[in-house]
Amino acid sequence: MFGFANPQRFWKLSSTLMPWAWGLCALLMGAGLYMALVASPADYQQGQSVRIMYVHVPAAWMAMMCYGAMALASFVSLIWGHVIADVAARATAPIGATFTALALFTGSLWGKPMWGTWWAWDARLTSVLILFFLYLGYMGLWAAIEDRTKAARAAAILALVGAVNLPIIKFSVEWWNTLHQGSSVLRSDGPSLHADFLTPLLVMGAAHMALYVALLFVRMRTEIMRQRIQAEQRRLAASHEGAV
């Protein structure tokens, strides 16, 4: 892990892996959308609205996974000063926020025909909304503090404190009475979904994960390039002042 703390090493690795990530994402997304929208049957209770699940559930998975990755990268950056971990955490935030917003939006679309309402202040929905605000707060700290070192430290602390919300999201349907259904995939007695629904759901989940990796590479490389440009601008400014 620490071997890739050097931005140059990460740049070379990402140059090799990024095309594969995009290719895998396109393959999985294409197959997943076909299976979800064409091949899979309608649900006997939910009808065609069950197809929202193939976007909503993977987006919700990724909302939590991205925050977990951001918190882990923040921990590594805070404790060991790992440069690339700091970049990864910052690059993950807007991706995770987008997945969270998508999960909330598609959840509302799904909730209206199933529950008769676009929104309910139950534990699962409220904790996911809090997750969205944590992403926004993390990005806001980076934007509000000019000193990069102080911004990174403040944002890392917020990410770690906010990680306590992840188990609340996961176990909220077990700890409180909510409208939201319990887990249908990650269960001790095995998935409760029929293979006709489970297979496209898992393929779409893998597609969302590949999309995250591809976007993460793009954002991290953009951030590294931005830092290089700023460093060069500071060098040129210093040399100009010295010449004067």
Q: What is the mean pLDDT of each run of 10 residues along the chain (244 residues)?
A: 67 92 97 92 80 92 96 92 88 97 91 78 88 96 90 94 93 70 58 77 95 96 87 75 62
DSSP 53-81: HHHHHHHHHHHHHHHHHHHHHHHHHHHH-
d(CA 12, CA 4): 10
Q: How far apart are CA 231 and CA 239, in angstroms?
A: 12
Alpha-carbon span 96 to 75, nearest angstrom: 17
Give pLDDT, residue 162. 95
Whichever domain contains 189, its CATH number is 1.20.120
Amino acid, single-letter form, for residue 191: P
The pLDDT value given to residue 49: 80
Tell me what percent of the chain is helix, strand and coil, each rounded to the nearest 5: 80, 0, 20
Cβ(184)–Cβ(191) below 8 Å: yes
Report DSSP state, residue 42: P
Domain that holds residue 127: 2-243
Beta bridge partners of 43: 47
The number of residues in the chain equals 244
Q: Which of 155, 109, 99 is nearest to 131 (CA)?
A: 99
CA distance 117 to 99: 22
Cα separation values, 26 from 59, 101, 206, Å: 17, 22, 11
DSSP type of residue 46: T
pLDDT for 184 equals 63
If one counts the domains in the chain, the total is: 1
